[in-house]
């Protein structure tokens, strides 16, 4: 079998990645650390015109439902002083993160379908990737924080207000935002060191980190290793907190003598547990392992589930079934109706 040799100014190179590295060193000496392409092409979920029209209507509807549903939750929590508790503070942050998560990818996809253009600039692509990582990671951490809140409420009800003081609640809110930005910044800085050669086509509907690593003609071993280690840490610690919280919750609930008391205690956790299963069931299959092990279609399906479907379902699963949230929304609607 013939071995293809790449040459640059008469210097033989073993393969394309060696040539890319040589070109990158030479370019960095003269122009600084720049990529060799200025834009990427997003192929989206389908190239067929009929399917694109259906996808446009479907994703526009899901986007509007997500923004309105989560926006109403934030509005209700902000306006009703009765809901100014730790649980609803974390819920408001989760709703904001869900709106932001879907807004990083879906509007651009809808615009591409409408204008029939698939291009996205290099800078916009990196920015989109950064914020998509931020909001996926912060969802993960917030689910862990909310599990801890339920653990304290059920296992230590008499000491709940003493433990969940405003200072601790603010700290538990800020830490996820800080950590998620650190994770995103780590991946972004490592990605900026990579070289992108002739191929600039992403088989995805947004700039996903795994897809960008596949596209690079540089050696991505370090990026893959960091993705695995950081991904493992980001998933393991919140999941361990969730698991510990629910083990303690189950033990505490089983001690309750009355069936009604057990059901009431479990009902406060059912929605959160549903969101946890939905979130972890999709994210593990997409970002837990190195990108080379996943087919493109599996990447797309997983990304749609946890960047579009999960944020849309959260208001229904977690909040709109909550009697306090529904009561506050009814008051707001009745107040507005009376003003009209």
Query: Does CATH number 3.30.450.20 belong to domain 39-333?
Result: no
d(CA 169, CA 87): 9
Low-confidence ranges of the chain (pLDDT < 50): 1-14, 16-35, 292-294
The CB-based long-range contact list for 280-288 (8 Å cut-off, 24+ gap) reads 280/235, 280/239, 282/306, 282/310, 283/136, 283/140, 283/235, 284/235, 286/210, 287/136, 287/209, 287/210, 287/227, 287/231, 288/228, 288/231, 288/232, 288/235
Report domain extents, the chain.
39-333
pLDDT of residue 9: 37
pLDDT of residue 286: 60
CB 173 within 8 A of CB 93: yes
- Would you say the C-alpha torsion 327, 328, 331, 337 has a positive or negative sign? negative
Question: What are the φ and ψ backbone dihedral angles of 258, each rounded to 5 degrees?
Answer: -80, 145
pLDDT of residue 22: 44
CB 100 within 8 A of CB 131: yes
Q: 39 - beta bridge partners?
A: 121
User: How much is the pTM?
Assistant: 0.82
pLDDT of residue 45: 84
Q: At what angle do helices 49-79 and 86-103 cross, to 10 degrees?
A: 160
């Amino acid at each position: 079998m013939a071995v293809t040799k790449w040459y640059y100014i008469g210097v033989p190179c073993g393969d394309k990645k060696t040539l890319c590295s040589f070109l990158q060193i030479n370019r960095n000496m003269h122009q600084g650390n720049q990529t060799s392409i200025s834009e990427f092409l997003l192929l989206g979920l389908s190239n067929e015109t009929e399917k694109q029209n259906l996808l446009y209507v479907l994703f526009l509807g899901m986007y509007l439902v997500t923004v309105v549903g989560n926006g109403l939750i934030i509005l209700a929590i902000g306006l009703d002083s009765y809901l100014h508790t730790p649980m609803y503070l974390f819920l408001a942050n989760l709703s904001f993160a869900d709106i932001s998560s879907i807004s990083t990818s879906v509007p651009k996809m809808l615009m591409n379908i409408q204008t029939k253009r698939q291009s996205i600039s290099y800078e916009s692509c990196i920015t989109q990737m950064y914020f998509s990582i931020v909001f996926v990671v912060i969802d993960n951490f917030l689910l862990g924080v909310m599990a801890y809140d339920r653990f304290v409420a059920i296992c230590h009800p008499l000491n709940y207000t003493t433990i969940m003081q405003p200072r601790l609640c603010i700290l538990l809110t800020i830490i996820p935002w800080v950590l998620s930005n650190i994770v995103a910044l780590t991946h972004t800085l490592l990605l900026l060191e990579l070289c992108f050669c002739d191929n600039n086509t992403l088989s995805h509907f947004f700039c996903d980190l795994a897809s960008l690593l596949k596209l690079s003609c540089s050696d991505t071993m370090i990026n893959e290793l960091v993705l695995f280690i950081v991904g493992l840490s980001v998933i393991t610690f919140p999941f361990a907190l969730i698991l510990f919280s629910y083990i303690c919750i189950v033990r505490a609930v089983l001690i309750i003598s009355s069936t009604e008391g057990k059901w009431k205690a479990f009902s406060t956790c059912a929605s959160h547990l549903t969101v946890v299963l939905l979130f972890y069931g999709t994210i593990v299959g997409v970002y837990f392992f190195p990108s080379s092990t996943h087919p493109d279609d599996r990447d797309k399906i997983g990304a749609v589930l946890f960047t579009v479907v999960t944020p849309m379902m959260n208001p229904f699963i977690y909040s709109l079934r909550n009697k306090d949230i529904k009561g506050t929304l009814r008051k707001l609607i009745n107040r507005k109706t009376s003003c009209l």
